[in-house]
Structure 1
Amino acid sequence: MEIFKKGDMILLSLCLIATVFGIVMIYAVTSDEGTHYITVQTGAMIAGVVLYFAFTAFDIDILAGQRTLLFLFNTAFIAMLLIWGIQGSTGNRSWLSFPFLPFNIQPAEVCKITYIIILAKTMSIHQNRISSPRSVLPLTANMLFIVGLIIFISSDTGVALIFIFIFLTMAYVGGVNLWWFLGGAGAIAAAAPYIWIYAIRSDQKKRILALFDPSIDPTGQNTLWQTNQSLKALQNGGISGMGLFNGNLSEGGLPAKHTDMIFSATGEQLGMLGCLFILLILLAIVARIIYVGMKSPDYMNRLICLGIASMLLFQILINIGVCLGLVPVIGLALPFISYGGSSILTSFIAMGVVSGIKMRPSREISAHYIRPY
C-alpha cells in the first residue's frame, strides 16, 4: 500500500520504541498497583498507531482550509472546562472525563495540534507580507486569546507556555522580522509585574521563588519536596541504576512517578544510561520531524512540522528541567514516555500529520517564499 511506502515508517518506529519503553517503565514503577496503567497505555498506543495511519492518509490541507471552524473548536473545547472540568492534584482545571473512555482528556493537548495548523495556514496566507503589522498583530492577538483562555479557565501555566513557544518558533522560522521579537520582549518586560500579580497563583509564585531562595522552604518538605524527591531518585540511580523494579523512591516515595516524574523514576532504576536513552530517542523523533519539514517545499507544511517539533522539544526540555530541579514544577508530561492516554493519542496524531506531509511533498513552491534567517 502507498501509505506504507510513502508514509514515514522511520518516524513511526522511533515513536513506538519510545512508547514501548515508556510502558515498561510505567509497569516497573506501578507493578504493585496492578495492570491498569499499562493496559490503558498499551490500548492508547494501539489506537494511536491507527490514528497515525489515518492522519498520514488524510490531506491536512482540507483541515487547514477550515481554520475558522478550528478556532471555534479550540475555543469551545477549552471552554467546556468551565462546566465539566476536573481539577487535578496541581490545582489546574485541565481535564474532561468521558464515561466511554478509560482516561481523561486534556483539551489543550488536542488544541495544540489544531492551533499549529491554524497558525501555519494563516501565516501561509500572509507569507508575502509576513512582517507587516496587518499580519503580525492578528497572529499575536490569536495567540494571546488562546493563552489567556487557558490561564483564565484552567490556570495551567505550563500548557500556556507551550502555546507561546510554538508561536515564537513558527513566527521565527516563518520569516517574521526580528524587530517584532525585540518589541515583544519589551512588552513582556513592561507587563511582567502585572502578570506576576494577577496571572500567577500564590503557590506557583512559591515554586518559582523557592528555586532561588531556599529559605522559602528551609526543610524541603513543602514547596521543594517534589523536586528534592526527584533529585534523590536520580542520585540513587547513579550511572547504571538500581535495577528494574528495584528503585527505593520510584517504588513509593516519588510523586507522579509514572507521569510527570517518570524521567527521575527511570534514572533511579536504570541510571544515567536509561535517562540518556530517553533523551536520545526523543531528540531523534524531534530531529526526524525537523528533517521532514525542511525537505517539504511547501511553506505551510514546513511550518506545521516545525511547530510540532517545537511543541515536543519544549515539553521534553521543561519536563527534564523539572526533574533536574532547574525549572519549577509545572506539570508537563514527557512525550511518549509518561502515562496518559490523552497525551499518547495526540502525540501519534501529530506524528501522523508529519507523516502525511512526507507522503505528499510535491506542492508548488511559492516564488515569494520567505526563508528563515
Structure 2
Amino acid sequence: MFNRLRATLSDFFQQADLVLLGLCCGCTLFGMVLIASATRYMGTGSMIRFVGVQGAAMLIGLVAYVLLSMVNVELLVKHWKLILAASVVLILLLRTPLGVVRNGNRAWLEIPHVPFSIQPAEVVKIAFIILLSKQLEWVKDRRRELKSLGSVAGPTGHLLFMVGLIYVVSSDMGSALVYVFIFVCVALVAGVAWRWFILGGGGMAVGVLALYFMGKLPSHMADRFRVLFDHSFDPRGVGWQQTRGLLALGSGGWFGQGLFQGTQTQAGRGALPERHTDFIFAMIGEELGFFGCLLVIVLLTAIILRCLWVARRATTDYARLVCVGIAGMLIFQTVENIGMCLFVMPVIGLTLPFFSYGGSSIVTLYTAMGIVSGVKKRALMNWNR
C-alpha cells in the first residue's frame, strides 16, 4: 500500500500542473494573512479560528486537487444522472433545518461537527460545468452544429432549471448569475450561434426593465442597481457597504497604510463591512495600497490564463469546455467582487476567489483546479514543451 501511494504521488509530481497548484497555494496563503488582519478586531480567538478554518479547507482542497488530477473527468460524467440528482438534493437541503439564513439568503448548510458552513451553490457549480460541457458536446456530435432552436433548447433548459432552483430555494441571485456567465462562456466556445446570445441577453434585459417599471422587481434588488448610478442614494442604507468599501480602497494610496494598520480594517464592527469576505479587496487597498491590489489581480489573472492555456491544449472538446467553464467561473467572481468594491457593480454576495474567507469556496476552487490539472496531465504527451 505504501509503495502504491508513493507511486501515485510520484506520478502526480511528474505530470500534474504544479504551476497551477503553486499559484493557488500562493493566493490562499496570502489570503490567510489578509484574513488574519481583517478579523484581528474581533479578538485573537476569532482571528485564529477564521485562519484555522481557512487552513483546514485548504488542506482538504489539496487532497481534492491531487485526487482530481488522477481521475479522468470524462469517466465521471458517465454517471451524470447521479451527479445531477446529488446536485438537486444538496440544494434542496437548504429547506431543511440544516439550512440557515444570512443576509436575507438561505444559502448555507450548517452540519454538526463540521467547522465551516457549506454553500451548496458553490459545490454544485463544478457539477454544472461538468454536465453542461458534456451536454453541449453531445448535442453538437448529434446535430453537427449549435445554431438551431432544437440544438440550444436542451442546454438552455438545463441552465434555467439550475438558476430557477437556486433562486427559488435560497434567493441567492449572486450565485445564480455565476451559472449564467459559465453557460455563456461554455456555449460560446462550443459554437452556439451568436444570435441566441443576442436574443437571450435582450430578452433578459427587457424582462428586468419590465419588472422594474411595473414595480414587480424586489425593492432590494432594484436599489442595488439604482445606487450604482446615484451614489448619493441611501448612503446609510443600501449604499453604505460600497461607500465604506470605496473609502477604504482609496485611502491606501500607492503602498497602503500597512498590514494590520488599516484605519477601517482595524476599527470595530461599524467600519468596513464584511472585510474578510465580500469586501476583502477594499481591505487590501487600504492596507497594501494600489500595488497590493495589483498583485492580487496579477495572481488571479495568472490562474485564469493557466486554465485557458490548458483548455487550448486539451485533447478533447469536452475537456476544453470544462476548463473554459472553470475559467469563466473565476472571471465572473473576480470582476464582480472587485467591481463591487469599486462601486461599479452591484453587491450580490460573491467573494474574491482564493482570497476571501470561505471553507466551501476554497474546497470547490481546489477541486476545480484539480480537474484542470487532470486535463493537463492527460494531454501532456501531446504537447510541444
Task: Provide the residue aligned with 2:254 in structure 1.
Answer: 239
Does the aligned pair in 2 maintain the 1:52–1:348 contact within 8 Å? yes
Task: Provide the residue aligned with 1:216 in structure 2.
Answer: 233
Does the aligned pair in 2 maintain the 1:151–1:199 contact within 8 Å? no
Paired AA for residue 320 in structure 1: I
Task: Write the distance in 1 (CA, Å) between the matches of 2:86 and 2:66.
Answer: 23
Where in structure 2 are the equivalents of 1:72-221 lying within 5 Å?
Answer: 72-83=85-96, 84-88=98-102, 90-127=103-140, 128-193=144-209, 196=212, 200-214=217-231, 216-217=233-234, 220-221=235-236
1:31: Cα distance to partner?
A: 2.4
Task: Write the distance in 2 (CA, Å) between the matches of 1:189 and 1:239.
Answer: 38
What is the DSSP-based 3-state SS (H/G/I as helix, E as strand, rest coil) of the residue aligned with 1:249? coil
Answer yes or no: is 1:29 the counterpart of 2:52.
Answer: no
Answer yes or no: is 1:258 the counterpart of 2:264.
Answer: no
Q: Deviations over 1:197-237 (max 9, x none)?
A: 688532121121122234531xx211111111101111211
Task: Write the distance in 2 (CA, Å) between the matches of 1:28 and 1:137.
Answer: 48
Paired AA for residue 139 in structure 1: P
Task: Provide the residue aligned with 1:368 in structure 2.
Answer: none
Task: Write the distance in 1 (CA, Å) between the matches of 2:263 and 2:50.
Answer: 20
1:17: Cα distance to partner?
A: 0.6
Q: 2:19 aligns with which of 10, 14, 19?
A: 10
1:129: Cα distance to partner?
A: 3.2
More deviation in 189-198 or 27-36?
A: 189-198
Query: Structure 1 residues 5, 78: CA separation in 2 closer, same or farther (over 3 Å shift)?
Result: same
Does the aligned pair in 2 maintain the 1:298–1:361 contact within 8 Å? no
What is the DSSP-based 3-state SS (H/G/I as helix, E as strand, rest coil) of the residue aligned with 2:147? coil
Does the aligned pair in 2 maintain the 1:81–1:95 contact within 8 Å? yes
Query: Structure 1 residues 327, 186: CA separation in 2 closer, same or farther (over 3 Å shift)?
Result: closer
1:182: Cα distance to partner?
A: 2.0
Task: Provide the residue aligned with 2:348 in structure 1.
Answer: 330
Paired AA for residue 201 in structure 1: P
Paired AA for residue 101 in structure 2: Q
1:145: Cα distance to partner?
A: 0.8
Does the aligned pair in 2 maintain the 1:67–1:121 contact within 8 Å? no
Paired AA for residue 156 in structure 2: T
Task: Write the distance in 2 (CA, Å) between the matches of 1:148 and 1:273.
Answer: 40
Task: Provide the residue aligned with 1:20 in structure 2.
Answer: 29
What is the DSSP-based 3-state SS (H/G/I as helix, E as strand, rest coil) of the residue aligned with 2:108? strand
Does the aligned pair in 1 maintain the 2:145–2:191 contact within 8 Å? no
Where in structure 2 are the equivalents of 1:23-62 lying within 5 Å?
Answer: 23-32=32-41, 33-34=43-44, 35-62=48-75
Q: Structure 2: which 5+ runs fail to align?
A: 1-9
Task: Provide the residue aligned with 1:371 in structure 2.
Answer: none
Query: Structure 1 residues 3, 215: CA separation in 2 closer, same or farther (over 3 Å shift)?
Result: closer
What is the DSSP-based 3-state SS (H/G/I as helix, E as strand, rest coil) of the residue aligned with 2:364? helix
Task: Write the distance in 1 (CA, Å) between the matches of 2:71 and 2:250.
Answer: 46
Task: Provide the residue aligned with 2:7 in structure 1.
Answer: none
What is the DSSP-based 3-state SS (H/G/I as helix, E as strand, rest coil) of the residue aligned with 1:87? strand
More deviation in 201-210 or 352-361?
A: 201-210
Q: Structure 1: which 5+ runs fail to align?
A: 365-373
Q: Deviations over 1:80-125 (max 9, x none)?
A: 112232111x211100001121100000011100000000111111
More deviation in 65-74 or 228-237?
A: 65-74
Paired AA for residue 316 in structure 2: D
Instruction: Calculate the TM-score normalised by the size of structure 2.
Output: 0.90
Answer yes or no: is 1:361 the counterpart of 2:379.
Answer: yes
Task: Provide the residue aligned with 1:300 in structure 2.
Answer: 318
- Give the root-mean-square deviation of aligned CA atoms: 1.7
Task: Provide the residue aligned with 1:367 in structure 2.
Answer: none
1:179: Cα distance to partner?
A: 1.6
More deviation in 32-41 or 113-122?
A: 32-41
Does the aligned pair in 2 maintain the 1:120–1:303 contact within 8 Å? yes
Paired AA for residue 274 in structure 2: A
More deviation in 267-276 or 205-214?
A: 205-214
Task: Write the distance in 2 (CA, Å) between the matches of 1:160 and 1:222.
Answer: 24
1:62: Cα distance to partner?
A: 1.8
Percent identity over paired residues: 41
What is the DSSP-based 3-state SS (H/G/I as helix, E as strand, rest coil) of the residue aligned with 1:126? helix
Does the aligned pair in 1 maintain the 2:208–2:217 contact within 8 Å? no
Count residues with an aligned counterpart.
361
Q: Deviations over 1:230-283 (max 9, x none)?
A: 011112111000011000111131110111111110111111111011000000
After TM superposition, which residue ranges in structure 1, 4 or more long, deviate above 6 angstroms? none
Task: Provide the residue aligned with 2:240 in structure 1.
Answer: 225
Task: Write the distance in 2 (CA, Å) between the matches of 1:72 and 1:327.
Answer: 34
